[in-house]
């Protein structure tokens, strides 16, 4: 083997974000919190009925789709009958590929999982939407290609769909937060007014509906006026994310933090605790949303979010144990996430990761 090949292999090994914190640690369990795959728009714009509704509906036909809709209804998931917010064929493929990648990392390379499906090893959880249910089913089909994924049980837990209480919490801002809020609202108003005029839409449209629908159209290369460039669509999405996270960032009394972040993180901690305690259980999959990932990355791990996580994004929490301690390492879309609070309290020969006791306190103060 040439010197270059040896150096390249060594570099790839060093760059692997899934390496142990140190040589004495054993991988016990992995929790994957992932976003669903590519989907149809959640909302409609006034021109959808005439120009685009037929296209979106055409993506959702077929025997397999009828089956997933029946399954969703049996699980009391009530959004299965409409063309809105449903996984597309592109989304199905994204999730299978994610499952194949995880199979490579955790079955082939690390032997954490059995080669074939073992019900004792895997827990699958979805929020109460058809797109997340279908996403985790297709992820599992990539992870276990020989298994009948329809027989793999999936539990519904809508705690992992945050920001549902936004309109129920009244926050009053003052000082700097108040001026920042006014500035954000002004930028939102200007962006929505300009974009709706470019689309020849003159009825009221929310930022949420506008940004989401244009994102879906651009992903599917559907007609959009030339002046509504990809930069414009990205700007709308960034404004929407900033609007969504604003109460969390400028929460004067912690009410929003308590309502949105704490339930998600506490539920996640329960799965982490189970992962360490149950020696048979090897992987937990939580099929969720961009908002779930944004919330965890910003509030828990201190990563200021500028863009929404892309479709099929995956947050992997690797649970490691040594005779002395328990450690969590974090990987997001294939890259290591090093949390500042964990670095400050890292001891011994740990090269990365977060001591479990430190991890439990992230974002909770």
- Reported as a single tens digit per residue, the pLDDT across 76-109 is 898 866 889 999 999 999 999 999 999 999 999 9
Where residue 113 falls (left for φ over 0; alpha for ψ -120 to 50; beta otherwise) is beta
- Reported as a single tens digit per residue, the pLDDT across 199-240 is 999 899 999 999 999 999 999 999 999 999 999 999 999 999
Give me the percent of the chain exceeding a pLDDT of 90: 69
Mean pLDDT comparison of 78-82, 160-164, 273-277, highest-scoring range: 273-277
pLDDT band at 252 (very low <50, low <70, confident <90, very high): confident
Q: Is 187 exposed, middle or buried (0-12, 13-18, 19+ CB in 10 A)?
A: middle
First to last CA, the chain: 53
Phi, psi of 287 (to 5 degrees): -85, 115
């Amino acid at each position: 083997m040439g010197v270059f090949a040896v150096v390249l292999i060594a570099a790839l090994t060093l760059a692997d974000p899934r390496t142990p914190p140190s040589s004495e640690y054993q991988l016990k369990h992995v929790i994957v919190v992932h976003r669903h795959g590519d989907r149809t728009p959640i909302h409609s714009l006034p021109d959808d009925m005439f120009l685009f509704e037929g296209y979106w509906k055409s993506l959702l036909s077929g025997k397999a789709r009828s089956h997933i809709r029946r399954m969703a209804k049996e699980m009391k998931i009530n959004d299965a009958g409409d063309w809105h917010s449903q996984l597309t064929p592109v989304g199905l493929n994204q999730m299978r590929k994610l499952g194949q990648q995880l199979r490579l990392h955790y079955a082939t390379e690390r032997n954490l999982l059995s080669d074939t499906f073992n019900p004792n090893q895997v827990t699958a959880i979805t929020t109460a939407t058809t797109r997340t249910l279908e996403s985790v089913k297709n992820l599992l089909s990539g992870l276990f290609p020989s298994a009948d994924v329809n027989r793999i049980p999936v539990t519904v837990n809508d705690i992992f769909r945050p920001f549902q209480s936004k309109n129920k919490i009244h926050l009053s801002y003052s000082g700097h937060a108040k001026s920042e809020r006014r500035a954000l609202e002004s930028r939102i108003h200007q962006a929505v007014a300009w974009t709706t005029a470019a689309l020849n839409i003159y009825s009221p449209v929310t930022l949420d509906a506008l940004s989401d629908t244009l994102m879906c159209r651009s992903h599917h290369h559907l007609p959009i006026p030339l002046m509504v460039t990809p930069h414009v669509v990205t700007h709308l999405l960034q404004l929407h994310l900033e609007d969504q996270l604003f109460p969390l960032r400028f929460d004067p009394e912690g009410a929003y933090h308590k309502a949105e972040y704490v339930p998600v993180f506490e539920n996640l901690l329960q799965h982490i605790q189970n992962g360490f305690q149950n020696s048979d259980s090897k992987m937990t999959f939580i099929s969720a949303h961009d908002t779930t990932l944004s919330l965890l990355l910003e509030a828990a791990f201190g990563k200021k979010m500028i863009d929404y996580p892309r479709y099929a994004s995956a947050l992997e929490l690797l649970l490691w144990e040594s005779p002395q301690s328990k450690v969590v390492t974090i990987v997001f879309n294939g890259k290591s996430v090093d949390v500042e609070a964990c670095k400050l309290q890292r001891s011994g020969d740990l090269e990365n990761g977060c001591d479990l006791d430190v991890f439990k306190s992230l974002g909770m103060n």
